[in-house]
């Protein structure tokens, strides 16, 4: 008589292998380790603030995203400062970032501000003139076109042009301590002038420049030691003298504003 073989019970599936538990613990420890490293590093305050705002439901992540937390702020929600305090130097970094913006605005170059003030005045009054500043911020060129200040062939300043010079003078007065010299250059085209008034274009361009200088000095009280005049006749054209448009550009008055260079302000220009 043969005995029946005893059946061995089938192994039951008890879930994941035990080594996965050790692996999961290792991954968790590594994640904790890298979070600690991140907390010790320097945080970009602006990016961190954007991240916190997005996670806190203050703004949608996408432009069309809907705010998740639509409950009114009762003051219990953590602020950006609360989050930054969790990281070493986080609040200081944010303050430094905000301070850099303020200091950049406060320390804007005064000569650049003068340039922008002149540019704004010309645009506001719609005056046909050009204004440029040198790359080194040491010189500003203000160029009045054609008959803005004078009638054709005349050297007397037009009445409406005096209002323009008054406005320019007011701007210059505001920044006078940053100005070393203001030079007025007179230019003419190649067309001969009335010889009884002006024998050559030298006299015409010279008288125009001198009249502007006298107006700024005598009428506006600008420091005469900072004023000068120069005449170039028709010998320094900026356009083709064979076209009417070129002749119009060559008939001009230019105002060169030279910066006052103080001790310690000279820097190397790349």
d(CA 9, CA 184): 110
What integer pLDDT is reported at residue 196 of this predicted model?
A: 86
pTM over 0.85, yes/no: no
Q: Where are the beta strands (DSSP E) in the chain?
A: 129-133, 139-145, 179-187, 227-231, 252-259
Largest pairwise CA distance in the chain: 154
pLDDT digits (tens, 9 = 90+) for 228-263: 999 999 999 999 989 988 888 999 999 999 999 876
d(CA 102, CA 149): 40
Residues forming beta bridges with residue 230, ordered by sequence position? 185
Residues forming beta bridges with residue 21, ordered by sequence position? none
What is the assigned CATH class of domain 110-259?
alpha beta
d(CA 82, CA 6): 69
- Is the pLDDT reported for residue 106 higher than 80? no
For the chain, the domains span 20-62+77-106, 110-259
Spell out a b/e string for 32-49, using b for 16 or more CB atoms within 10 Å of the CB, else e.
eeeeeeeeeeebebeebb
- Is the pLDDT reported for residue 189 higher than 70? yes
């Amino acid at each position: 008589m043969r005995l029946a073989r005893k059946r061995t019970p089938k192994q039951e599936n008890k879930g994941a292998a035990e080594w996965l538990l050790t692996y999961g613990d290792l991954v968790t420890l590594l994640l904790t380790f890298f979070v600690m490293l991140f907390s010790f590093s320097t945080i970009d305050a602006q990016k961190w603030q954007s991240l916190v705002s997005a996670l806190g439901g203050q703004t949608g992540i996408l432009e069309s995203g809907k705010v998740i937390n639509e409950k009114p702020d009762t003051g219990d929600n953590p602020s950006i400062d609360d989050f930054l305090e969790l990281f070493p130097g986080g609040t200081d970094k944010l303050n430094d970032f905000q301070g850099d913006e303020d200091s950049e605005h406060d320390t804007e170059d005064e000569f650049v501000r003068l340039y922008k003030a002149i540019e704004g005045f010309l645009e506001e009054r719609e005056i046909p003139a050009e204004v440029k500043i040198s790359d080194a911020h040491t010189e500003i060129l203000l160029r009045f076109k054609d008959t803005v200040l004078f009638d054709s062939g005349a050297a007397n300043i037009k009445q409406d042009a005096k209002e323009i010079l008054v406005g320019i003078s007011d701007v210059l007065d505001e920044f006078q301590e940053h100005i070393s010299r203001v030079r007025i250059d007179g230019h003419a085209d190649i067309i001969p002038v009335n010889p009884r008034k002006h024998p050559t274009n030298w006299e015409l361009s010279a008288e125009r420049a001198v009249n502007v200088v006298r107006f700024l000095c005598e009428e506006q009280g600008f420091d005469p030691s900072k004023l000068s005049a120069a005449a170039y006749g028709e010998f320094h054209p900026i356009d083709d003298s064979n076209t009417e448009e070129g002749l119009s550009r060559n008939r001009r008055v230019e105002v060169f504003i030279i910066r006052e260079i103080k001790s310690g302000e000279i820097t190397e220009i790349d």
